[in-house]
Amino acid sequence: MQCSLCNSESVVFLKYNGSHLCEKHFTKFFQKRVNLEFRSELKIRDPIRLGVALSGGKDSSVALFETHRIFGKRRDVEIVAVTIDEGIKSYRPETIKAAQSLTRKLGVEHRILKIEDNFHTTMDVVSEGGKLAPCSYCGVFRRKLINSAGIDDDLDYMVTGLNLDDTVQSMMMNIARGDITRMGRMGPHNTAKEGLVPRLQPLRKISEKEVMLYAILQGVEFSHAVCPYADRAIRNEFRESIDKWEERSPGTKYSILNSFDKIKALIPSEQEEKMGKCRICGSPTPGDICKSCSFEQELKTWT
Is it the case that residue 220 has pLDDT exceeding 70?
Answer: yes
Greater pLDDT, 45 or 123: 123
pLDDT of amino acid 268 = 59
Model confidence, pTM:
0.93
CATH architecture of 45-276: 3-Layer(aba) Sandwich (3.40)
Q: Is the pLDDT of residue 302 over 70?
A: no
The structural domains of the chain, with segments of one domain joined by +, span: 45-276
Mean pLDDT of 178-198: 81
Q: What is the mean pLDDT of residues 158-179?
A: 93
Characterize the bridge pairing of strands 157-159 and 48-53: parallel
**pLDDT (0 to 100) of residue 273:** 59
Q: How confident is the model at residue 85 (pLDDT cuts 50, 70, 90)?
A: very high
**169 touches 101 (CB < 8 A):** no
- Average pLDDT over every residue of 30-37: 98
Query: Which pLDDT band, with edges at 50, 70 and 90, does 177 fall under?
Result: confident
**Residue 74 pLDDT > 90:** yes
Q: Tens of pLDDT along 239-283? A: 999 999 999 999 999 999 999 888 887 775 544 557 789 999 988
Q: Which regions of the chain does DSSP assign to beta strands (E)?
A: 12-14, 19-21, 48-53, 77-85, 109-114, 157-159, 199-200, 276-277, 284-285
Q: In what order do the strands lie in the sheet with 199-200?
A: 109-114, 77-85, 48-53, 157-159, 199-200
Tell me, what's the pLDDT at 271? 45
Choice among 50-54, 88-92, 176-180 with the minimum mean pLDDT: 176-180
DSSP-derived pairing of the beta strands 276-277 and 284-285: antiparallel
* Integer angstrom CA distances of residue 220 from 89, 111, 177, 179, 299: 24, 19, 37, 36, 38
Pick 232 or 171 by higher pLDDT: 171
Residue 32, judged by CB atoms within 10 A of its CB (0-12, 13-18, 19+), counts as: exposed
Averaged pLDDT score across all residues of the chain: 92
| Separation between Cα atoms, residue 156 and residue 178, nearest integer Å | 31
Over residues 11-30, mean pLDDT: 97
